[in-house]
Structure 1
Amino acid sequence: MTSCPSPSRGVYLTYFIQGLILLAVASSIMAGEYFLGFASGIAFLLTMAPTLVTRNLRLCFPWEVNLLIALSLYLHVMGHVGEYYVTLAPYYDKLTHLISSATVGLIAFFLAILAEYRGDIRLNRTAIIVFILVSTLAAGAIWEIYEFAADQIFGTDLQHGNTDTMMDFVMDLIGAVIAAGVAAITLAKEERHQFIRLFADPSSKLEPADISPEPAELARSR
């Protein structure tokens, strides 16, 4: 069991958005839109993923990341339940791509931090930034493949031509750059090790010396 610090009051924003998703589930079922209700229910379960995944890991996701995950899924749910993808096209879709891609990028960042903390892999700042960019764009590509497949198999109308798809990729890239920028600024600070331990279990007995320093730091110490 993890022993994370008491969450900020901002965590209640996540709970509020999760409640809105549950309302979307209820309204869809009451309207006879059972598939939308089912899909919205899956989205709600996905908002719980960070808590479930990190429960047995020595990692504490920042509440801001949990909030972005919930917000991304809520925007997608309401795009269908509230038909915002149609009434606010194409701007609503691009907004969801921007927020979702930034969220994926931040998740990739914290996965890299987790790998470093556990000693599974060693990544320098450049490698982490590349990992964020590649992971985010790969997730965007998988999403576009899903939309293409759904249109071909089920006759949906998720994609609206090459321009729409390319603009989705552009928004994904912008979101990835934002996340990479956050990572670059954070990793440039001298308190790198303290930042790594911030998301680790505070009950861990590891000392800063147990976390291997940067190669550059090793070179300076010789």
Structure 2
Amino acid sequence: MACSNPLRGIYLTYTIQGLILLAAALSILAGEYFLGLSATFAFLLTMTPSFMTRNLRLCLPWEINLLVAVSFYIHVMGHIGEYYVTLAPYYDKLAHLVASVTVGLIAFFLALLAEHQGDVRLTGPATALFILISTLAAGAVWEIYEFVVDQVFGTNLQLGNTDTMWDLVVDLVGGVIVAAFAAIVLARGEEHRFIRSFAEPSSGAEPPDIVGDPIDPARSR
């Protein structure tokens, strides 16, 4: 399925993904195998949205793909560039804010998509609540991941209860930002334009058996 995403957005995402791969390669060459493996895994995660939407025959907004790549790039460079230490605690909070906004937008997209396909119908408050719950849940899972990694590998990803709580607070802020954006979209009645722009392919790229011929209605069956 061909999507109408602009090439500049696609190439920008590819650039960020390439930087993650470069960071992974440089880490491995420097003997930092754990960091290199982590960066490689982060790169694979940036590919997940594209693979999933391709299998589901959907077009994910290029902005979301870009934000996913940027979120993981910020995290990777926080460790490889030691920005989590030299720019503490602000760099870590920036990483959480970008990641939470990304998760919130994905949740909003899924809510609109579910309603667009007729599976569920969410009110404005229900959509906002779904965004907030999704964002906080993702933040909690991330904190559990950091705790497990610290226990297994003896790292120091978590800096105590206060740091963890502030991380979750920032995650909540990111969720609130997206929830406010969603409320504006829904209040203006622009959700259908939003979902058409991002969940459907461009009209010129559809195969004939899907687009059909307006002169011959039988072909659209």
Question: Above 0.5 in TM-score?
Answer: yes
Amino acid at match of 1:72: S
Question: Offset at 1:6?
Answer: 4.3
Structure 1: gaps of 5 or more residues: 206-222
Q: What pairs up with 1:10-159 in 2 under 5 angstroms? A: 10-159=9-158
Report the equivalent of 1:169: 168
Contact 2:24 2:40 in 1 (8 A): yes
**CA deviation map 1:170-199 (0-9, x unaligned):** 110111111111211112223332322222
Q: Does 2:213 match 1:197?
A: no
Listed one character per residue, the Cα deviations across residues 89-131 of structure 1 (whole Å, up to 9, x for unaligned) are: 1111111001001101111111112211222222111111100
Paired residue secondary structure (2:37) = helix
- What is the CA–CA distance in structure 2 between the aligned matches of 1:125 and 1:73, rounded to whole Å? 30
Aligned counterparts of 2:47 and 2:9: Cα–Cα separation in 1:
16
Moved more, 173-182 or 56-65: 56-65
Distance of 2:71 and 2:5 partners within structure 1: 24
CA-based RMSD: 1.6
| Equivalent position amino acid for 1:179 in 2 | V
Extract unaligned runs of 5+ from structure 2.
212-221
Count residues with an aligned counterpart: 204
Instruction: Work out the CA distance in 2 between the residues paired with 1:59 and 1:124.
Output: 23
Question: Could you tell me how far 1:82 is from its partner in structure 2?
Answer: 1.0
Give the superposition deviation at 1:8.
4.8
Offset, 1:10: 2.8
Which moved further from structure 2: 42-51 or 150-159? 150-159
Structure 2 CA distance for partners of 1:64 and 1:71, relative to 1, 3 Å: same
Task: Please state how far the C-alpha of 1:81 moved relative to its aligned partner.
Answer: 1.0
Q: Which runs of 4+ in 1 moved over 4 A?
A: none
TM-score by length of structure 2 reads 0.86
